[in-house]
Amino acid sequence: MSDSGIDLRSYVPEEEVRARGRALREATPVAARDREAASPDRPEVLAFLKDAHANRLPHLVPLRVGRMLSGPFSFFRGAAGLMAADLHRGPVSGLTAQICGDAHAANFGLFGTPQGEIVMDINDFDESVPGPWEWDLERLAASLVLAGRESGVDADGCRAAARDAARTYRLEIDQLARMHFLQAWTALPDESVLGTAKADDLLDNFKKAAKKARKNTSAKVAAKWTQLDDHETGIRKHRFVSDPPVLTGVEDRVAEAVIDGLQRYADTLRDSRANLLARFAVSDIAFRVVGTGSVGLHSYVALLHGNDGEVLVLQLKQSIPSALTPYLPVPPVPHEGERIVRAAGLVQAQSDILLGWTSVELADPHDGALEELPFLVRQFRNFKGSIDPAELSGDDLDDYGRLAGALLARAHSRSLDPRLTAGYLDGDERFDDAIAAFAVRYADRTEQDHAQLVAAVDAGQLTAELPAD
């Protein structure tokens, strides 16, 4: 007897699985998604930010506030926990997937596979936990409305993008439910996904972003951010050039701690990939600020050198508990970096071959005590690119919504049987309208939250460091 929980003696036909999904509609109709945006027990904006900043590096908190201050879409990107506080009282189907947790429109990006193909998929798993699949779709839809408003798309265009994201999600789930299992599992979200999602108007954007991604290598990072220094041993090595506040040097003790962490990280890789890593040596370590939600956490870039001038840049990013954890019955995890890596493996069609985790001993910024902090490790910007949803016209935003909806459906189907979800949705177009209505309402709520942040900064309740032009 196996204790894996998998039964390979019984096959459940598609229609029977779909029927289980349809039965869930009695308790939670799809139209129930059209509801008020804010939960009555949501925290106040300033209280939410105070909690979110409690364990971050104090000197970087004003920079995080400044980035969230730049507009409602930027605020939204740093407020996954606030939206979770609103969603957790809402209706759910009862079907659980490994969700991204922060599936806003800018968290879909391009990257390279080990075979050199450029694909597009969800690319951020800091908040990933098992949870209601609807949460990801509602966050995506609301973000499309906010991105559209930022780029000047009219109200009808913003709503259409949100509705089409939901509609394409529903249609793609139904298609995946009908496909051969292996065919659905191995399908890569490459350029062909644009046709599947009827997002052909984005073809030029995709090709432009893919061309840029192919040039986005460790060598390019080294050429832009480093210089050759004469090392005391007589060996010339590349060193990072400080560019505060985004890129800064670190003390020798911190650099040694990070290198120790990198050596331990090798144990989380497959043996062949650990052997690959072992052929490199570290040239330099620097601190680099990233993103919006992650500003204020420890984040380092490691410059490694190999054969004949070869360089490899790795990112070590501090991993903290998902902002969704207080609102979902998520069991404790042994290591937050491991949680993120395993989530990426569950959701992405292809993952970075050097994706792993480690711990680094660093000083607490408040009392100076040394503590082991969990980190995610991955290649930095290697063949990575993006299509900025906040720069798209109305027609292109609509296409982007369809593309992201299809990608999200594929992502969820890797952990949740799409036959169940397809049965629950059951071809019901009222679902699309309900998601769109909620998305517009939640975008309005976010604009109000952002206005509260602006007022707090103007009143001197919070300090903001505005990004450089």
368 within some domain: yes
Distance between CA atoms of 409 and 418, rounded to whole angstroms? 8
CB 405 within 8 A of CB 383: no
In a domain, 359, yes or no: yes
Ranges of the chain whose pLDDT falls below 70: 1-3, 230-236, 467-469
Nearest Cα to 350, choosing from 118, 187, 113, 184? 113
For residue 113, tell me if it sits in a domain: yes
Q: Are residues 221 and 83 in the same domain?
A: no
Residue 31 resides in a domain? no
425 and 280 together in one domain: no
Q: How far is CA 351 from CA 190, 218, 259, in A?
A: 14, 17, 23
The whole domain housing 226 covers 217-379
Is the dihedral angle over the CA atoms 401, 406, 407, 412 positive or is it negative? positive
Q: Tell whether 271 and 204 lie within a shared domain.
A: no
String of DSSP letters for 179-202: S-HHHHHH---STTHHHHTT-GGG
Residue 50 contacts by C-beta under 8 Å, 6 or more apart in sequence?
Answer: none
Boundary of a domain, candidates 379, 412, 438? 379
* pLDDT tens digits along 380-399: 988 999 999 999 999 999 99
Asked if residue 463 is part of any domain, the answer here is no
Same domain, 130 and 96: yes
Identity of the amino acid at 401? G
- From the number of C-beta atoms within 10 Å of its C-beta (0-12, 13-18, 19+), residue 367 rates as exposed
CB 216 within 8 A of CB 382: yes
Same domain, 371 and 411: no
119 lies in the same domain as 83? yes
What is the per-residue pLDDT across 244-296, written as a single tens digit (0 to 9) for each?
999 999 999 999 999 999 999 999 999 999 999 999 999 999 999 988 889 99
Domain-ending residue, one of 329, 358, 379: 379
For residue 322, what pLDDT is reported?
Answer: 97
Residue 387: beta bridge partners? none
The per-residue pLDDT for 190 is 86
Do 260 and 207 share a domain, yes or no? no
Task: Tell me, yes or no, whether 302 and 373 share the same domain.
Answer: yes
Count how many residues are written for the chain. Answer: 469
Question: What sign does the dihedral 85-87-91-95 (CA atoms) show?
Answer: negative
Q: How far apart are CA 63 and CA 296, in angstroms?
A: 8
Choose the final residue of a domain: 345, 379, 413: 379
Contacts of 260 (CB under 8 A, 6+ apart): 360, 361
pLDDT for res 234 = 55
Q: Are residues 277 and 246 in the same domain?
A: yes
Q: Are residues 208 and 250 in the same domain?
A: no
Name the pTM for this structure.
0.95
Residue type, 444: D
Q: Does 106 lie in the same domain as 75? A: yes
**Do residue 290 and residue 233 come from a single domain?**
yes
Domain count, the chain: 2
Domain membership of residue 467 (yes or no) is no
Does the residue 119 lie in any domain? yes
Residue 197 phi/psi, 5° resolution?
Answer: -85, 0
Let me know: does 165 contact 405? Beta carbons within 8 Å. yes
- What's the pLDDT at 231? 60
